[in-house]
Copies of this chain bind each other. A is one copy, B any other.
């Protein structure tokens, strides 16, 4: 992991751009003692410096948590392949013509996750060796972020707490959810135009741990209320 820039903001949070084996990312570390690490994955079509990702990072840092984010394959500063362009075009076409894009998004998400999971795991190896974060490792990613995070958590028992949601069940995700040992906070939006409620409930049900809670709020896919995001920071900080 190679750090390419280093800035400190007014609240004392240090922000480093980084390159991890060719994957661009950002690491935020709090001013004081680091009490844990959050792996923060962005949503579909977003990137490591999307406004929501940056806001979440500063909020976590204020609670003593370091935050790592990586650009997902085909997103942000990473090259886009012909396959990425194909899926992006097809998904956009279906959404703009009012067709159901769910199956296509799920297929693309699974391809991206297969590539992203080993990237996150090796980045976690590096950071647990250097940050002194102890055992408090959390994950936060919704929508595409959960499509990456659920198989990641299934493969990675170091992840103790996870904020997932805005995603429906598939056969692969159901299997991964059943293998996840983390304590899960699952967010559902009641008026989600991309994820049918029954599909989201089925994915929540697929987690076999009893340490799981679903929070449902009014609003569309991108309208998770501020109080829910604030609360998720506290959930991750509590470890």
Spell out A's residues near B (CB within 8 Å).
Answer: 190, 197, 201, 204-205, 210, 212-219, 225, 227-228
A227→B214 CA distance, assembly (Å)? 13
The answer to whether A214 and B215 touch across the interface, beta carbons within 8 angstroms, is yes
The answer to whether B228 and A216 touch across the interface, beta carbons within 8 angstroms, is no
The answer to whether B217 and A216 touch across the interface, beta carbons within 8 angstroms, is no
What 10 pairs across the A-B complex have the smallest Cβ distances?
A214-B216, A210-B218, A213-B217, A215-B215, A213-B215, A212-B218, A213-B216, A214-B215, A213-B228, A190-B205
The answer to whether B216 and A210 touch across the interface, beta carbons within 8 angstroms, is no
Residues of the B chain whose Cβ atoms lie less than 8 Å from the Cβ of A197: 201
Residues of the B chain whose Cβ atoms lie less than 8 Å from the Cβ of A190: 205
Residues of the B chain whose Cβ atoms lie less than 8 Å from the Cβ of A227: 213
Chain B residue nearest to A186 (CB atoms) is: B216
A219→B218 CA distance, assembly (Å)? 24
Residues of the B chain whose Cβ atoms lie less than 8 Å from the Cβ of A219: 210
A201→B204 CA distance, assembly (Å)? 15
Residues of the B chain whose Cβ atoms lie less than 8 Å from the Cβ of A204: 216
The answer to whether A216 and B218 touch across the interface, beta carbons within 8 angstroms, is no
Tell me which of A204, A213, A219, A225 has the highest count of chain B C-beta atoms within 10 A of its own C-beta: A213
Residues of the B chain whose Cβ atoms lie less than 8 Å from the Cβ of A225: 213
A229 to chain B, nearest CB (A): 12
A215→B219 CA distance, assembly (Å)? 16
User: What are 18 A-B contacts with C-beta separation under 8 Å?
Assistant: A190-B205, A197-B201, A204-B216, A210-B218, A210-B219, A212-B217, A212-B218, A213-B215, A213-B216, A213-B225, A213-B227, A213-B228, A214-B214, A214-B215, A214-B216, A214-B217, A215-B215, A216-B216
Residues of the B chain whose Cβ atoms lie less than 8 Å from the Cβ of A201: 197
